[in-house]
Chains A and B, each alone.
Chain A
């Protein structure tokens, strides 16, 4: 009897759970970077609005870098920069830092637009009704501005979710990286790639449709 060794094994049920775990990692890194990045971005947006001169001189150019350099270059750059300054970050942590800053740079612009969307007369009125600056921000600007920018914020969040695929460059085994591993083993690229694409689509499409619907309803 001759024993045969198969190098490639076909797609099995265990692989689905491997893909599932990877999908959870994609969700986890996207969730963290979108949450932290949005808070940070909201703060940056407020700073851009309130500190016109300093924002234009310092903050905006810095945020601009994140918007005009490819994410993949940012990731590789930071991943190799961190050890230079003595930080010991693994692929997940570097990816998280870069994605968070990237999100915050995108959200900052959106958030500033949101604050600008609240009319000046409204703000003057709320202040003359005796509201403090913080109350004005909390009870007038936030509800109106958040509603105005919600659709574009959803767009940014979905974009970051999709861009998180690039963290695979650093070796973090999220969905796309996992698919690469499986393709190498099973030699069935089309099937696996379609499964991965379907996952992103199933996540992104309903959310974008829902936000488009909300936008339409709110604009009436």
Chain B
């Protein structure tokens, strides 16, 4: 039917390498996600409670992260900062770019989560004698987590997919590794087809695990 001969053997030969690279992808994505959650939380609180420069810095971060392409953000950390004499390794570029992006999106999600909780709850907690820390960790945050859980899962999927941009800054995560092998063997279609399947399976596993965890955590 086709005049093209598919050669799958080189792909299957390098399958262990691809799978290892997919672990790299998951690692960098998880680290970026964890950092993103912490920074995103700080951004959300600074935008809700902060004033003056704290508020503006947090707002600028969120808006820049949400309104420019992730590729631009990666290039900024890669080439842009290079002009100032700050050189990152490919791994650091990917991590910094993904973290910046994720923190911005999560910051907005968390802010929505906090705003969904009636402010009277915080006042009630405080008047029951809790200090600010207790009120946040025992009353507000557990409820916020429940609200932002699914958006967070989606965000993690996005981070995994976004990490494929590492290919363009020379980082050998799954897509970068695929590109490396594909340009060695010229079996571009075959390699990227297998990579697409690996990504698909990874995303399905993440979504499945997230559903499972949700059914455990949020039982009542």
Binding site for B on A (CB under 8 A): 64-65, 68-74, 76-77, 80-81, 83-85, 158, 162-163, 165-166, 168-169, 176, 179, 183, 188-190, 193-194, 196-197, 200-201, 204-205, 208
Contacts and interface: CB of A to CB of B under 8 A. Distances in A.
Given A72-B167, A162-B70, A190-B83, A81 B199 contact: no
Contact of A204 (B2, B67, B71, B188): B67
B80 A193 contact: yes
B147 interface: no
B70 A70 contact: no
Nearest to B165: A72
Q: Interface extent on B, as a size class?
A: 35 or more
Contacts, number: 101
A80 B186 CA distance: 11
A196 B69 CA distance: 10
Interface stretch (B13-21, B30-38, B88-96, B190-198): B190-198
Contact of B69 (A70, A81, A162): A162
Nearest to B204: A68
A103 to B, nearest CB: 15
Contacts of B68: 162, 197, 200-201, 204
Contacts of A72: 164-165, 167-168, 175
Nearest to A179: B75
A84 B67 contact: no
B175 A68 contact: no
A165 B69 contact: yes
A68 B75 contact: no
Contact of A81 (B161, B164, B165, B189): B189
Contact of A193 (B72, B165, B175, B189): B72
Contacts of B66: 204, 208
B83 A68 contact: no
Contact of A190 (B63, B84, B167, B200): B84
B83 A201 contact: no
Contact of B196 (A77, A84, A193): A77
A208 B64 CA distance: 12
Given A68-B199, A77-B196, A189-B80, A196 B164 contact: no
Contacts of B4: 83-84
Given A72-B175, A176-B72, A193-B76, A200 B188 contact: no
Of the candidates A64, A80, A190, the one having the most CB atoms from chain B within 10 angstroms of its own CB is A80
B188 A76 contact: yes
